[in-house]
Structure 1
Amino acid sequence: MTQNKVHSSKSNSSSPTLRDPQNVLIILGILVVLLVTYLAYQASGFESVLLFWVGVLIGFALFHARFGFAAVYRQIVETGNTELLRAHMFMLGIATTLFGFILMFDISASPNMTEGALSPISIGLVIGAFIFGFGMEMGSGLAPASFYTAKGGRTALLCTLSGFLSGAVIGAYHFGFWNKTLPSIPKFSLAIDTGLGYVGAWGMQVAIFAMIIILSYLYKKRKKPRLLPALPTAVGWKRIIFGSWPLWVGALVLAVLNAAVFILQGEPWKLTAAFTLWGSKLLMNLGIDVTQWEYWVAEERIPALIEPVMMDSMSVLNFGVVLGTFLSLTLGGMIRFSKIAIHLAILAFVGGLLMGYGATISFGANIGAYFSGIASFSLHAWIWAAMAIMGVYAAYMVGKKPNLASK
């Protein structure tokens, strides 16, 4: 009887296996990738193709490392698990080092001036980051880990994505009020505006990352939170293509790929801006003039509205991210849709709406504001991260109240 119990516990702790590859969808995904590769080359040449394929690799890495940007906050608030937090600090440490070299020596393959992800410090930054965090906790299905836990498969994710697209466009419409009408402080670089230089700012940030890692280990020893759930994997070489990677591998790969993006296009990876562009282009096709919105004037991206979408490097990159993730999902047999309750669909949509709106008025989200922003030594990125975590915590406490009342 004891042996049976031991065997049972081992089985429960082992990682689940992936489903069979979805061959039809894989072929469809490959054809779309080849088509976009051709369109990117026709629009902007080999540099655009290279950027697109870096995006494909990013999508591949996000899936296989199960590297959740949204999940890191939720794990801390909901379960107290800090494993993802330590992986993030490692990723930020590598990215900060690479970005420091790129900025210090102006390393770029782009004719444009090298510019990090720096943004002003405004009311929109503070409020928007909080709204984003609240929406992320409320109904986000955008974290890679949710590919395995979301009710209704990818149905909830589609609701979240449609909400995010809508919120991003509304946020662009209100951008001027939050960031121009209300008081704001210009961009502030921890390297340039403090007099520390890139070496000094690098040392300061790395010290912060190291301190957070140490404190998280101490917290782990004291609280002993439950482990992250086991994720589908594979054995041997198949793990590279089909299975889950160690978190530190995902952190390293994503940091290097973001640096590659920085070199190729002269600015680091940003995601929300692409959604805002796609939604605004859709409105223009419906006859609505968005070129007068302060967002496009302030961000100096009016040409992106007028030119074909394949001329926009940010869009090409994120097409690659989406398609890379899609192909990875099909290889693991993870593309599936099913009926979900209407209240879950509404929750996912509203959560996405808040995320898109908050991200746009706060100059980005987990990628542009947090990942690329901190690696670019921008003060606004640290403020964004703090406010987003507060938003997650607020939504978590609001969600707990009905449960507490029922007890």
Structure 2
Amino acid sequence: MAESQSDSAPAYEKPQGIITSVVILIGIIAAAAAYLNSGWQFVILYFLGFLIGFTLFHTRYGFASVYIQMLENGNTEMLRGHMQKLIIAVTLFSLILSTNSAAFGGMPEGAVAPISTGLVVGSFLFGFGMNIGSNLAPTAMRTMKGGRTALLFTATGFLTGATLGTYHFSFWNSSLPNTEAISLAEDTPLGFFGAWLLQTVIFSLVIIGTYIYKKRKRPPALPPMPRGTNWTEILFKSWPIWVGAMVFAVLNAAVLFVMGSPWKVTAAFSLWGSKIAHEIGLDPASWGYWGTQDPTASLSASLFTNDLSVLNFGVVFGTILTMSLAGLIHFSKIPLQLAGITLLGGILMGYGATISFGANVGSYFSGLASMSLHAWIWTFMAVAGVYTAYFAGRKIPFIATK
């Protein structure tokens, strides 16, 4: 059977007017705060974040689900979309980084990180946690489990795990074996063109391999994405995976051009968690993460002076607004086992992402686009974590997600 979308797709509920109005009001206030604290650059970042959040809802984007789809039914469409996204992103990143192009001055820097014990252990933990508690994934947000109560447990777990990872960061990345960061473009004889060519060839070979695998397995098509009704059908018209891949790549390159560094999620959670830790009487300024990964001054400054916070506020705003327009903001009682699984998965994801310099956005998407060696190691170990959790779930009922 060919991999194609069916025309018969489930419909979203009616827009939630009151919730949507409140979300829009909060979004406008946040945009105004970004402008008053940091000027137009941060307003642009906020808008780019909004577009990312909006895009997340319109196409298939995930990490664990990509590799589980291959294993369960042989469907490689989502993996192919990832490779298309990475080809476009690494091309745009190469142009920006090699020419030192930045909209507001300064030198753009890619998501390049050291090779360390924390990288290896953390990426595995992230992949393991994402497979058992992936209710932060956009696909899950469109379902009964992900778009509602379970999402709160996953997000809470991620924030908790990121804070713990920030506290333990120096142990994993300084006390244990580690080496310097290696950029394939700047720290090897390949140069920008050679690194771009190498990665583009690898991504292209994966795409070719997925077509060969598809012909051999003849997988069923992915289930159709939900759609809107009446005027909301315009807002929620499903995008082909290749369109979503292109939009994500362009938006991340735009973030690099405007902010001077690419899209990252985990660093914002580390900041938010550390600020909460400070408010309850802890001393996050003494944690080794601060002063090495991010300036210690960020702990006492307004969140609206932190570029990654403002960017991710925009992502959250775009995602929640889209969910409310789709009628998905509902919360109800969930089984205790599901709450425990999603909380545990979120903690593992947040902790693993922090000690490994990022999650499937900062280390995988932005890291590979930045031609960083650490991103390749992160990808291999995270996929290993996904599959370990998948097979463990068949033996241990508690961590099974299906």
The TM-score range, normalised by the shorter chain, is over 0.9
Hey, what does 2:370 align to over in structure 1? 376
TM-score for the superposition, normalised by structure 2: 0.94
Hey, what does 1:8 align to over in structure 2? none
Hey, what does 1:7 align to over in structure 2? none
Hey, what does 1:46 align to over in structure 2? 40
Greater helix share, structure number: 1
Matched, 1:103 2:103: no
- The one-letter amino acid of 2:202's match is I
**CA shift for structure 1 position 152:** 7.2
Matched, 1:306 2:325: no
> Alignment partner of 2:286: what SS?
coil
Hey, what does 1:364 align to over in structure 2? 358
> Alignment partner of 2:112: what SS?
coil
**CA shift for structure 1 position 75:** 2.2
- In 2, are the aligned partners of 1:167 and 1:357 still within 8 Å (CA)? yes
**CA shift for structure 1 position 45:** 0.7
Hey, what does 1:285 align to over in structure 2? 279
Distance in 2 (CA, whole Å) between partners of 1:183 and 1:343 is 37
Distance in 1 (CA, whole Å) between partners of 2:294 and 2:395 is 44
Matched, 1:173 2:133: no
Hey, what does 1:330 align to over in structure 2? 324
> Alignment partner of 1:291: what SS?
helix
- Counterpart of 1:80 (choices 74, 82, 105) is 74
Q: 1:155 to 1:200 in 2, by over 3 A?
A: same
Matched, 1:31 2:25: yes
- In 2, are the aligned partners of 1:164 and 1:354 still within 8 Å (CA)? yes
Identity over aligned pairs, percent: 54
After TM superposition, list the pairs within 5 Å mapping 1:162-311 onto structure 2: 162-234=156-228, 239-311=233-305
Give the alignment's Cα RMSD to 1 decimal. Answer: 1.8
**CA shift for structure 1 position 73:** 2.9
**CA shift for structure 1 position 116:** 0.4
**CA shift for structure 1 position 156:** 0.6
- The one-letter amino acid of 2:212's match is L
1:324-354 C-alpha deviation (Å, 9 max, x unpaired): 0011111111212111101110110000000
Q: 1:301 to 1:79 in 2, by over 3 A?
A: farther
Q: 1:131 to 1:311 in 2, by over 3 A?
A: same
Distance in 2 (CA, whole Å) between partners of 1:152 and 1:63 is 12
Distance in 2 (CA, whole Å) between partners of 1:379 and 1:130 is 16
- In 1, are the aligned partners of 2:66 and 2:79 still within 8 Å (CA)? yes
Hey, what does 2:400 align to over in structure 1? none
> Alignment partner of 2:351: what SS?
helix
- In 1, are the aligned partners of 2:64 and 2:383 still within 8 Å (CA)? no
After TM superposition, list the pairs within 5 Å mapping 1:120-159 onto structure 2: 120-151=114-145, 153-159=147-153
> Alignment partner of 1:48: what SS?
helix
> Alignment partner of 2:291: what SS?
helix
Distance in 2 (CA, whole Å) between partners of 1:358 and 1:152 is 21
Higher mean displacement: 108-117 or 193-202? 108-117
Distance in 1 (CA, whole Å) between partners of 2:395 and 2:168 is 32
- Counterpart of 1:397 (choices 391, 394, 398) is 391
Hey, what does 1:3 align to over in structure 2? none
- In 1, are the aligned partners of 2:62 and 2:137 still within 8 Å (CA)? yes
Q: 1:104 to 1:154 in 2, by over 3 A?
A: same
- In 2, are the aligned partners of 1:91 and 1:252 still within 8 Å (CA)? yes
**CA shift for structure 1 position 153:** 4.3
Distance in 2 (CA, whole Å) between partners of 1:225 and 1:402 is 28
Distance in 2 (CA, whole Å) between partners of 1:112 and 1:303 is 20
The number of equivalent residue pairs is: 393
> Alignment partner of 1:298: what SS?
coil
Distance in 1 (CA, whole Å) between partners of 2:261 and 2:146 is 37
> Alignment partner of 1:137: what SS?
helix
- In 2, are the aligned partners of 1:59 and 1:325 still within 8 Å (CA)? yes
> Alignment partner of 1:295: what SS?
coil
Distance in 1 (CA, whole Å) between partners of 2:232 and 2:343 is 36
**CA shift for structure 1 position 249:** 1.0
> Alignment partner of 1:64: what SS?
coil
Q: 1:320 to 1:153 in 2, by over 3 A?
A: closer
Distance in 1 (CA, whole Å) between partners of 2:395 and 2:280 is 43
1:25-58 C-alpha deviation (Å, 9 max, x unpaired): 1111111111011100100011111110110010
Hey, what does 1:348 align to over in structure 2? 342
Structure 1 stretches lacking a partner, 5+ long: 1-11
Distance in 1 (CA, whole Å) between partners of 2:297 and 2:218 is 53
**CA shift for structure 1 position 363:** 0.2
Hey, what does 2:3 align to over in structure 1? none
> Alignment partner of 1:294: what SS?
coil
Q: 1:248 to 1:124 in 2, by over 3 A?
A: same
> Alignment partner of 1:258: what SS?
helix
1:76-97 C-alpha deviation (Å, 9 max, x unpaired): 3443321110001000000000
1:48-74 C-alpha deviation (Å, 9 max, x unpaired): 111101100100001111322443233
Distance in 2 (CA, whole Å) between partners of 1:150 and 1:123 is 37
1:111-149 C-alpha deviation (Å, 9 max, x unpaired): 442110000011100010000000011111011111233
